[in-house]
Amino acid sequence: MPRRKVGAAIPEMFRTMIEKPSTQLYPYQKVDLPERFRGKLDIDPDKCTGCQVCAMVCPAGVITMVDLGTRKVGDRELPVRRPIFELATCIFCGECVDNCAFKALEMTKQFELATPNKDDLIMKKAIAK
C-alpha cells in the first residue's frame, strides 16, 4: 500500500515550471499540419470531365452538376456538365477525392473557412471557363 501524502504532484509541478509550456500560440503562430490533413476541397478544372461520380457518392449532398450546353462527338450531341460545390455543407470525408477517376479533386490544408458571406463558400471553379 503506497504511502499517502499531501502534495504528491509538487515535484512534477516545479519540473513543468522550468520547461517550455506546451501551448501553441495560434493565431500568432502557424500550426504545422500533417500531409494527410483533410481541409478545404480544390478542383483542377482541366482534368474534370463531368462524369458525375463525385455528385453521386457525396454523403452530404454538396455537389450539384450544372448543364453547360452540348458538344459534338462524331455525329452525336453529348451534354457537357460540370460540378459546383457548396462547401458550407461539406463534411470533409474525402469520398469524392477517392472516387474521382481523373484525380481532379484534392483536399488542401486550409481550415480557416469562417466567413460572414455564404457565397464565399460556393466553389465555381469548374464552370468558370
How far is residue 39 from each of residues 35, 87, 107, 108, 111, measured CA to CA in Å?
Answer: 10, 11, 5, 5, 5
Tell me how far apart the alpha carbons of residues 76 and 110 are, in angstroms, rounded to a whole number.
Answer: 42
Among positions 51, 53, 57, 68, the unique one binding another protein when judged by CB under 8 A: 57
- Residue ranges in 73-112 that form contacts with another protein under rule CB under 8 A: 91-95, 98, 107
Q: How far is CA 26 from the centre of its chain?
A: 20
Of 16-24, 47-55, 79-87, 120-128, which part binds another protein (CB under 8 A)? 16-24
Among positions 27, 29, 34, 73, the unique one binding another protein when judged by CB under 8 A: 34
Least distance in angstroms from the C-beta of 28 to another protein: 9
Tell me how far apart the alpha carbons of residues 11 and 28 are, in angstroms, rounded to a whole number.
Answer: 32
Reply yes or no: is the peptide bond before residue 27 cis, omega within 30 of 0: yes
Nearer to another protein, 18 or 128 (CB): 18
Residues that bind another protein (CB under 8 A): 2-10, 12-14, 16-17, 19, 21-23, 25, 33-34, 36-38, 57, 59-60, 91-95, 98, 107
